[in-house]
Amino acid sequence: MIELNQVNKSYGKHQVLFDIDLTIAKREKVVILGPSGSGKSTVLRCINGLETIQSGDIRYEGASVIGDKAMRRMRLEVGMVFQRFHLFPHRTALENVMEGPIWVKRMKKQEARELAADLLAKVGLSGKEDSYPGKLSGGQQQRVAIARSLAMQPKAILFDEPTSALDPELVGEVLSVMKEVAAEGMSMVVVTHEIGFAREVADRIVFMDQGKVIETGTPEEILDRPQHVRTQSFLSRIL
């Protein structure tokens, strides 16, 4: 579904991604692990067309997304959830979820309202429709952000450290919503340090360091039998 071939990315003279190869099959859940600064967010941003790349190719459902129609389709069909929720502060939870379907998909307001209410219920936020983000906990805001992403009926969702900004007691509620989305068959790429989630949900774990994919494998392969010393030392630091 999504394929990166030999992707190189630099900011000015500073190269941050080196020959990245990565594939995400339909319904697959890929977790990206790696130390801070290793290029995980940049990979997601490249997939989603938020960054230009210096060389290599990114394909979405077989078509290159470098500067054309496939890019627009990919933007519509691939959602992103950020570490810091990025909700509209002056819109209620319901309005935040309705925005995309109305403005991007031209959905009728009433239909969008019903969809948004259903999705808020799905993420456990019935009764919070009229709350503004500032009145919600971080975990609730992130669940609104996930509902907002789902409202676009995406074929895949990219999650960039979705629980890293949360107080520890709020992490579980967000991970359980993500597990539910995973169980429904969504294709997902998740950057996270939540090893329990990775073990339970990932089909494949990709370990990155210093802009390179160091190794890729099943959760058992990467977490229990890492082959590379960099993977081993990273895991020993976070486990």
Residues near Mg ion (CB under 5 A)? 41
CA-CA-CA-CA torsion for 45, 148, 152, 186, nearest 10 degrees?
A: 70
Site size toward ligand ADP, by CB under 6 A: 11
Cα separation, 107 vs 8, in Å, equals 38
We find the least distance from the C-beta atom of residue 121 to ligand ADP, in angstroms, to be 32
Contact positions with ligand ADP (CB under 6 A) in 25-84: 34, 36-42
Q: Which residues contact 202 (CB under 8 A, 6 or more apart)?
A: 29, 30, 31, 190, 218, 219
Q: Is 121 in the site for ligand ADP (CB under 6 A)?
A: no
Which of 11, 52, 89, 110 binds ligand ADP (CB under 6 A)? It is: 11
Binding mask 14-33 for ligand ADP (x = CB under 6 A): x-x-----------------
Q: Are strands 55-60 and 29-33 parallel, antiparallel or unpaired?
A: unpaired
Q: Which residues contact 159 (CB under 8 A, 6 or more apart)?
A: 80, 81, 178, 188, 189, 190, 191, 192
Residue 36, binding choice from Mg ion, ligand ADP, none, Cβ under 5 to 8 Å by partner class: ligand ADP
Beta carbon nearer to ligand ADP, 16 or 76? 16
Q: Which residue has the tokens 């500073």?
A: 14
Which parts of this chain interact with ligand ADP (CB under 6 A)? 11, 14, 16, 34, 36-42
